Amino acid sequence: MRKALQEQNNNQNSEKYKIIAVDDEIGIIDSLSVFLKRTDYEFVGITDPVEAIERIRKEHFDLMLLDFMMMPLHGDEVVEEIRKFNKELYILLLTGHKDLAPPLETIRRLDIQGYCEKSDKFDQLLLLIESGIKSIKQMQEIKRINEELAESNEKLEQAYLDMVQTLRYTVEAKDKYTRGHSDRVSEYSVLIGQKIGLPEDQIKTLRVGGLFHDIGKIGIPDSILLKTEKLTDDEYSEIKNHPSIGAHILGAASIFKDIIPIVKHHHEKYDGKGYPSGLKGEEIPYLARITALADTFDAMTSRRSYRDALDLQIVKDEIQRCKGTQFDPKLADVFLDILENDFDKIKEIQEKYR
């Protein structure tokens, strides 16, 4: 362990940071070259600012020393171009006189880290370079830590996703009549979303939201969930808790934040008589209104222990009857159009998830 850490430290110490200097006076470049090659830095000097821009575009450098007054481009113009494709390069501006330095506003806008007057002695410049390299090291360390944290969060979120999938399968495996229900609701919701031209990120939210919309039923007793007789008022009240339970289960992971409104509100009704919040009309999240329609359609067209699947015409009539009360009327019209003109897609989904 100690040997490994020592090797790591040796590698870090032996790492050479790359510095590029851009100045149209060859004498300055030569002086910088002699001075910096005595250090542990790798140095490249260029007199043509246009060539320097292309070199930085193709090659990695950690720090740039840049003359301000140059031809054919001034230093601020060079930085303007570089910042279009490289936001991380540490830049120190060199000026013949401090009065010739660009305004502070320009320095901040272009994210120039500092400037230094040219001199025969390079002591001040070396201090600025060393300070810059320390900042670069810190930024690299922060970037490394952030990447490791992102990787850890990704693994954690994937583990949570796998766990919730397992819960979903557990819920549906309890009742043979509801197997495939969430998959079908997901697919129906996507059909509606595509029909009305929702963007891809919302289509994805609909897809995942449909899969997990009933996840809260894991918290409902089997004696109620699997009961074939009519539920008592108390039992029905218990069932109505499943959207809130589902939202609570998913609330622990940030990856589910976009689908929680679907999970929590897919049993709201357009007239405000749904649950758990009694939201009305536009108060109901839009994607939840889509999922509510898909959920009810699948419930009506699926066989249950107490009845067979309803005839398609009866289902259409019921959706038509409940426009503006249970369902968003515009979305109901969209879905009725799908049932009328694209029913082959509905049949494909039903056959896929029997």
Residues assigned a catalytic role: 217
Q: Is 228 exposed, middle or buried (0-12, 13-18, 19+ CB in 10 A)?
A: exposed
Nearest to 213 by CA among 291, 325, 125, 300: 291
Rg (CA), the chain: 32
Residues in the chain: 354
CB-based contact 221:238 (threshold 8 Å):
yes
Q: Please give the order of strands across the beta sheet that includes 114-117.
A: 42-46, 18-22, 63-67, 90-95, 114-117
Q: Which amino acid is at 206?
A: L
DSSP state of 199: -
Give Cβ neighbours of residue 334 (< 8 Å, ≥ 6 apart): 192, 195, 196
Q: Where are the alpha helices (DSSP H) in 86-174?
A: 104-109, 123-174
Q: Where are the alpha helices (DSSP H) in the chain?
A: 2-14, 26-36, 49-58, 75-82, 104-109, 123-174, 181-195, 200-212, 222-225, 233-239, 242-250, 260-265, 286-301, 312-321, 329-341, 343-352
The span from the CA of 45 to the CA of 31, in Å, is: 10
Report the SS3 class of residue 63.
strand
Give Cβ neighbours of residue 164 (< 8 Å, ≥ 6 apart): 212, 215, 249, 250, 256
